[in-house]
Amino acid sequence: MKFLTTNFLKCSVQACDTSNDNFPLSYDGSKCQLEQDESIEFNPEFLVNILDRVEWSAILQVAADLGNTSLPPNKPIFEDKNSLNEDDMAILRDLHILLIQTSIVEGEMKCKNCGHTYYIKNSIPNLLLPPHLA
Amino acid sequence: MGKKQYLLYMVQIHTNFRLAELESLADLFNLDIDFSKYDANSPFFFLELDNDEQARQWIKRSILTKAIYEYWGHGQTLDSLHDTIKQTPGFQERCKQFKNSSFKFEFENYQGGKKKDMATKVKQMESFKYLEFEGKIDLKNPQEIYTLIEEYAPAFGKAAPTVPLSYIFGRFVGSSDRSAMERYDLKKRPYKGTTSFEAELSLVSANIAQVKPGTLMYDPFAGTGSFLTAGGHFGALVIGSDIDGRMIRGKGANTDIKSNFRFYQESEKFLDVLTMDFTHNALRSNLVLDTILCDPPYGIRESIKILGARDPERFAGKEDIVIDGQKAFLRKDYIPTKKPYSLDSLLDDLLRYSAARLPIGGRLAFWMPTANDENVETIIPLHSNLELKYNCVQEFNKWSRRLLVYINRGDSFKGPTNGGQKRSPSNFRERYFTHFTK
């Protein structure tokens, strides 16, 4: 599961939708095994578009869960999306490595509201629920 | 600048989908095209556009066309073709514009006609002498390609017609994306399954759904990822989910959905596949999904299921079971139980979800099978925020399936709705297996 996906996933339990603690899920850094796939090509324009969908505070939280506290406190802003300068490219390259190339291969994530645990196996998160939570 | 005349050469296959594809692509690129002369029974569509760039842009991702040409002339015989070429407005200007360009001639036959021998080709090319092209003939890398299309009448019995119905002549402007069909052919795909959707119509679906580069596409019933593949081809970042983890897991590291993307060298377009019940959705509710494209389960191979206990009493208290000091339902190998669900409810959920998640103008496209009973009306699911834009039918012998395409118009649209009603007249799965005899 790519790091970027952690920015899209909340708890599946419908009752948690009324809480603000169902997103992002909290990741157990000691149990998460990360992998970087360097073969995934860097596409800056594409990444700039996708960044529009990203909630930066959740990126910071999940990165911290996984032991990375070196991210800028605010979401990078690009003045002119059509002509990215060298500084922009350096930032985007770092984001590409974090969001697109890094994935959680094995691991656990938990809802901060209900405490339910979800597993990631072979890079695929399992968001199914037992009947008493469905 | 005035408009120019163009000829679109289309394929005579899936004509129920062809106009929808062409309109959707025109709309995607903001092209104002007059479709009043479009004829579903003809492979030729004569139309007007501002310039070549518009023509190329419009057709470059089309699957159900071959190519677009600048129109030069059309006649029942070769002689009358030459007459119309000379009389078509702008003839002198066109000849002058391309006078010094290197060029070659190509020959196309629509249904029938023999393969031409060189002598016939040379003879036909020489009849175009009056164009007075002075550029050199370059068979490998010409600046311009001129195409003579011969249209034949359909063959009846053994006697295939040898004389064309008509001749069309044009300058090649751009080709379609029809070759993607070969590239994405299921026969060559590393990971596929019994539910994989054929390449041609999955690509057409993605065109009609207006999948755009740099946007987010979601398939809630991803299976082996056929529609994710099609969406990735057109440049979207794709995410899929399926309640059946076996499908999306694939058969090992080199035979799964992710490896298909690697195979097509589009790895950066693949976000993830999630084992998830669509009706217990974990995508955060403020995440905008630009396109939703899918083939929902119709219970043909397996009945439709969602999370939950079929018999809740039997499961009462099971949440308290502990194995090795850990709650059973929190263990990594726990497999949750599922219960049957109706197709009507699932499609209601899909429409409601799409109305909530798509941006205004965003499209939902999905496939729906129906039995071909002449006395049973097919009721299309409707939601008050969604405009039903297309309903394209593909006929099989005793059943058919249709691609339904909706545009999210928002709360103010207030269209008709039939959510919560029983629409499906019968159990499609049961009828499929009894060959529609009941």
Q: What would the mean pLDDT of B68-88 be, rounded to a whole number?
A: 97
CA distance B336 to chain A (A): 5
Give domain status of residue B11, yes or no. yes
pLDDT at B254: 87
Task: Identify any residues that bridge with A9 across adjacent strands, giving them in sequence order.
Answer: B283
Mean per-residue pLDDT for A6-24?
Answer: 97
Tokens of B180: 């993607």
Q: How confident is the model at residue B427 (pLDDT cuts 50, 70, 90)?
A: low
In a domain, B309, yes or no: yes
* pLDDT tens string A85-119: 999 999 999 999 999 999 999 999 999 999 999 99
Domain endpoint, select from B131, B148, B178:
B178
pLDDT at B162: 82
In a domain, B57, yes or no: yes
Same domain, B409 and B347: yes
pLDDT at position B432 over 90: no
- B323-343 average pLDDT score: 93
Residues of A in contact with B262 (CB under 8 A): 39
Residue closest to B103 by CA, chosen among B72, B60, B75: B72
pLDDT at position A19 over 80: yes
Contact B257, B240 (CB under 8 A): yes
Same domain, B121 and B233: no
Residue B79 covered by a domain: yes
Residue B383 belongs to domain spanning: 181-433
Asked if the Cβ–Cβ distance from B275 to A14 is below 8 Å, we say: no
Q: What is the pLDDT of residue B375?
A: 66
In a domain, B438, yes or no: no
Task: Let me know whether B297 and B415 are in one domain.
Answer: yes
Predicted local distance difference test score (pLDDT) of residue B1: 56
Please choose, from the candidates B65, B37, B39, B71, the residue with its C-alpha nearest in 3D space to the C-alpha of residue B52. Answer: B71
pLDDT band at B421 (very low <50, low <70, confident <90, very high): confident
Q: What is the pLDDT of residue B419?
A: 85
Residues B7-33: pLDDT tens digits? 999 999 999 999 999 999 999 999 999
Q: How confident is the model at residue B252 (pLDDT cuts 50, 70, 90)?
A: confident
Backbone torsions φ then ψ of B173, nearest 5 degrees: -115, -45
CB neighbours (10 Å) of residue B284?
17
**B10 shares a domain with B107:** yes
Sort out which chain A residues have CB atoms less than 8 A from B287's CB and list them. Answer: 8, 53
Chain B hits for A13, Cβ within 8 Å: 280
Q: Do A119 and B332 touch (CB under 8 A)?
A: yes
- What count of other Cβ atoms lies within 10 Å of the Cβ of residue B43? 19
CA-based nearest residue to B25, from B62, B55, B53: B62
> With contact defined as beta carbons under 8 Å apart, do B332 and A119 qualify?
yes
Whether B353 and B227 share a structural domain: yes
pLDDT band at B426 (very low <50, low <70, confident <90, very high): low
* Chain A from 97 to 116: CB within 8 A of any B CB: 100, 116
What would the pLDDT profile of B125-145 be if each residue is shown by its tens digit?
999 999 999 999 999 999 999
Both B59 and B192 in one domain: the answer is no
Minimal Cα distance from B272: which residue of A?
Answer: A1
Residue B425 has pLDDT above 70, yes or no: no
pLDDT digits (tens, 9 = 90+) for B89-114: 999 999 999 999 999 999 999 987 67
> What's the mean pLDDT when you consider all of chain B?
93
ω into A24 cis (within 30 of 0): yes
Q: Which of B178, B197, B218 is the last residue of a domain?
A: B178
Q: Does one domain contain both B233 and B368?
A: yes
Q: Does B275 contact A127 at a Cβ distance shorter than 8 Å? A: yes
Report the pLDDT averaged over residues B169-179: 98
The answer to whether residue B424 sits within a structural domain is: yes
CATH code of the domain covering residue B331: 3.40.50.150
Do B193 and B132 have their domain in common? no
Q: Establish if B158 belongs to a structural domain.
A: yes
Based on the structure, what is the number of domains in chain B?
2
Q: Do B283 and A8 touch (CB under 8 A)?
A: yes
Residue contact A130–B312, C-beta within 8 A: no
Q: What is the ipTM of this complex?
A: 0.96
Stretch B324-351: mean pLDDT, rounded?
94
Of B143, B163, B178, which residue is a domain's last? B178
**Identity of the residue in A55, A119, A124 whose CB atom sits nearest the CB atom of B274:** A124
Residues B173 and B192 in one domain: no
The pTM for the full model equals 0.95
Contact flag B213-A4 (C-beta cutoff 8 Å): no
Give me the CATH number covering residue B35: 3.30.2130.30
Cβ pairs bridging A and B (under 8 Å): 122
Q: Residue B245 — φ and ψ, nearest 5°?
A: -65, -25
Whether residues B174 and B188 fall in one domain:
no
pLDDT of A134 higher than 60: yes
Is the residue at B239 inside a domain? yes
Specify the pLDDT at position B116.
83
With a pLDDT cut of 90, the percent of chain B lying above it is: 83
Is the pLDDT at B80 greater than 60, yes or no? Answer: yes
Indicate if B157 and B246 belong to the same structural domain. no
- pLDDT tens readout for residues B364-376: 999 998 877 766 7
Q: Is the pLDDT of residue A51 over 80?
A: yes
Tell whether B213 and B151 lie within a shared domain.
no
Amino acid at B157: G
**What is the least distance, in Å, from the CA of B24 to any CA of chain A?**
22
